[in-house]
Structure 1
Amino acid sequence: MSIAQNKKAFHDYFIEEKYEAGIVLEGWEVKAIRAGRVQLKEAYIVIRRGELFLIGCHISPLPTASTHVNPDPVKTRKLLLHAFQIKELIGKVERAGYTLVPLDMHYKAGKIKLEIGLAKGKKQYDKRESEKRKEWERDKQRLLRMRHS
């Protein structure tokens, strides 16, 4: 079940591969995510010292959050992957000019997971081409519906 999606990533990037990563979260963050108070739109992933970190993911604390915890909505969160996957991603990002973007946050067996994509940036004309293709598919479906009714 999807919690939050980053639709902008599919508009701005060609997604080559997808990986599923765990996220290191605190208790108040888990509660806020379960309440749907998370946003991936401005988020991105960086590699530091052989580890992956999610930056810019906004998790709004619940108003009932504890008073002794000082919640930071946009703090850096560590991502959990197997070592061989991290090495593979580091190699591709450094050599081939790829970038890592968060695509989808979802539940899996009661845990909150983040789907990350190995992506290459789209140029402006690529975005226009994608938009034209989507628009044509919509028009085609509309015409087929009108024809069959």
Structure 2
Amino acid sequence: MAGKKKEKDTESGGGTIALNKRARHEFALGERYEAGLSLQGWELKSIRAGRANIGDAYAVIRGGELFLFGSQITPLIQASTHVVADDRRTRKLLLHKHEIDKLIGKVERDGYTLVPTAMYWKRNKVKMELSLAKGKQEHDKRDTARDKDWQREKQRALRHRNKDA
């Protein structure tokens, strides 16, 4: 028993680094994939300081590889002076070849989009959660909002009823 260690899923102060809350509103999310990120040293330091944003990000498959566009990692002031820090540079996403092949079929044939929904720590590595998504029409967004409001009202009514009983 002395050899067993309790394994922590998250390192360096919490699991979630950045969320794309707008993705749930703008897209109908489907299958989810976990991808690694190819980062430079200054980017990792900035992420540890909480300076990452994936609100406008999207993923594209080019030449059999997966790339992340539009994510912003703001460099720290203390970043090295010999490195030119580009906060919105294209970053490579790391997935197995068979997963990329499956994604190529879904994106090219079925018209899905790859949307990053979360960036988080997993065993001292930065991971990105990607979702296969289809864009929502305006009426779909209204339906989603109406359903969410109905669920909230239903919970309130049940809570109120249980409180009286």
Alignment match, 1:126: 140
Which residue number in structure 2 is paired with residue 34 of structure 1?
48
Unaligned runs of 5+ in 2: 1-14
Superposed displacement of residue 46, structure 1 = 0.9
What residue is the counterpart of 1:96 in the other structure? 110
User: Are 2:27 and 1:13 aligned?
Assistant: yes
**Any idea what the Cα deviations from partners look like across 1:59-111, whole Å, max 9, x if unmatched?**
01112111111110000000000000001100110000111000110111110
Matched, 1:61 2:75: yes
Alignment partners' CA distance in 2, 1:141 and 1:34: 38
Deviation at 1:120, TM superposition (A): 1.1
The SS at the match of 1:95 is helix
Shift of residue 34, structure 1, vs aligned partner: 1.2
Cα distance in 1, alignment partners of residues 53 and 149 from structure 2: 27
Instruction: Describe the superposition over 1:110-129 as per-residue Cα deviations: whole angstroms up to 9, x where unpaired.
Output: 10000000111111111100
* 1:115 correspondence with 2:129: yes
Is 2:96 the partner of 1:79? no
* TM-aligned CA deviation for residue 141 of structure 1: 1.9
Structure 1 runs of 4+ off > 4 angstroms? none
RMSD: 1.0
Deviation at 1:145, TM superposition (A): 2.7
Counterpart of 1:77, as a letter, is R
CA distance in 2, matches of 1:137, 1:18: 25
SS in 2 for 1:74: coil
Q: What is the SS of the residue equivalent to 2:55?
A: coil
Q: TM-score, normalised by structure 2?
A: 0.87
> 5+ residue gaps in structure 1?
none
- The answer to whether structure 1 residue 52 and structure 2 residue 66 are counterparts is yes
Q: How far apart, CA to CA, are the structure 1 residues paired with 2:110 and 2:136?
A: 15
Larger radius of gyration: 2
Letter in 1 for 2:50: G
Cα distance in structure 2, aligned partners of 1:88 and 1:109? 26
